[in-house]
Amino acid sequence: MGERAIIVVDTNVLLNLATPVVDGRSRAPTGEDPLRTVLTGYNVHVPSSVLGEVSEAQGSDDLLSAAADLVFQASHHLTTHDVDADIEEPLDFGLDRGESHGIWLANELSAAIFVTDEFNTRNYLFVSLALDDRNILFTTPHILCVLTDHGLFTPQYVDAALTYYVETKQWDRQYVDQLRNTYLTE
């Protein structure tokens, strides 16, 4: 992929990338590590509020907590920014603090990509409006497909991962199928 592009991700993206890695159930895709691949394939930046939200997911005995633990184990691959003092007023589109700070950070860094999993809500439209024109808005399934296109994942793994996310996260099947048609079919 050449020089690693700067991307900014929000909390749910990190947790969603980690979930199939820590999910021991038979329905989870195996053989790849999407969190590691994204963290080593891109120069990943996050606002500190994102790590705060990840820490809030820790401490229980469920899949989300296990995913949060994995994110923290890999957090040395993240560049973290304290943006509280720099932001005059957070965006007020129904976005949480991590998403709002992430948009600001993506604009501030002129990031190539901002990744959020707000695609099942109207917030996705607000996010796209708040980003500078030079930022590309992605979702977790989209970034997985792009990484497959670059040869970093097998199409079989990403196809299984997309099915896993549709079934476990109730991601929009039509959106995911469109990504499959664009990136995974020859």
Q: What is the pLDDT of residue 79?
A: 97
Write out the DSSP string of 108-142. HHT-SEEE---TTSTHHHHHHHHS-TTSEEE-HHH
Q: What is the pLDDT of residue 85?
A: 60
What lies within 8 Å, CB to CB, of 50 at 6+ separation is: 9, 10, 11, 14, 80, 98, 101, 102
Q: What is the pLDDT of residue 144?
A: 95
From 6, 13, 8, select the one nearest 117 (Cα to Cα).
13
**Terminal-residue alpha carbon distance, the chain:** 21
> What 3-state class would DSSP assign to 20?
helix
At which residue do the structure tokens 């500078």 appear? 132
From 168, 176, 137, select the one nearest 16 (Cα to Cα).
168
Give the Å distances, CA to CA, from 88 to 85, 101, 104, 168, 174: 8, 11, 10, 37, 38
Which token pair is 57? Answer: 């997911």
pLDDT in tens, the chain (186 residues): 458 899 999 999 999 999 999 999 999 999 999 999 999 999 999 999 999 999 999 988 899 999 999 999 999 999 999 986 666 665 555 677 778 888 889 989 999 998 988 766 666 656 666 667 766 878 899 999 999 999 999 999 999 999 999 999 989 899 999 999 999 986
Cβ distance 182 to 138 under 8 Å? no
What lies within 8 Å, CB to CB, of 111 at 6+ separation is: 5, 6, 7, 8, 45, 105, 135
Question: Measured between alpha carbons, how far is 19 from 48 in angstroms, rounded to an integer?
Answer: 21
Cβ distance 42 to 115 under 8 Å? no
Report the predicted TM-score, pTM, of the whole model to 2 decimal places.
0.90
Which tens digits make up the pLDDT trace of 24-61?
999 999 999 999 999 999 999 999 999 999 999 998 88
The edge-to-edge listing of strands for the beta sheet with 6-9 is: 79-81, 43-47, 6-9, 113-115, 136-138
Q: What is the pLDDT of residue 83?
A: 82
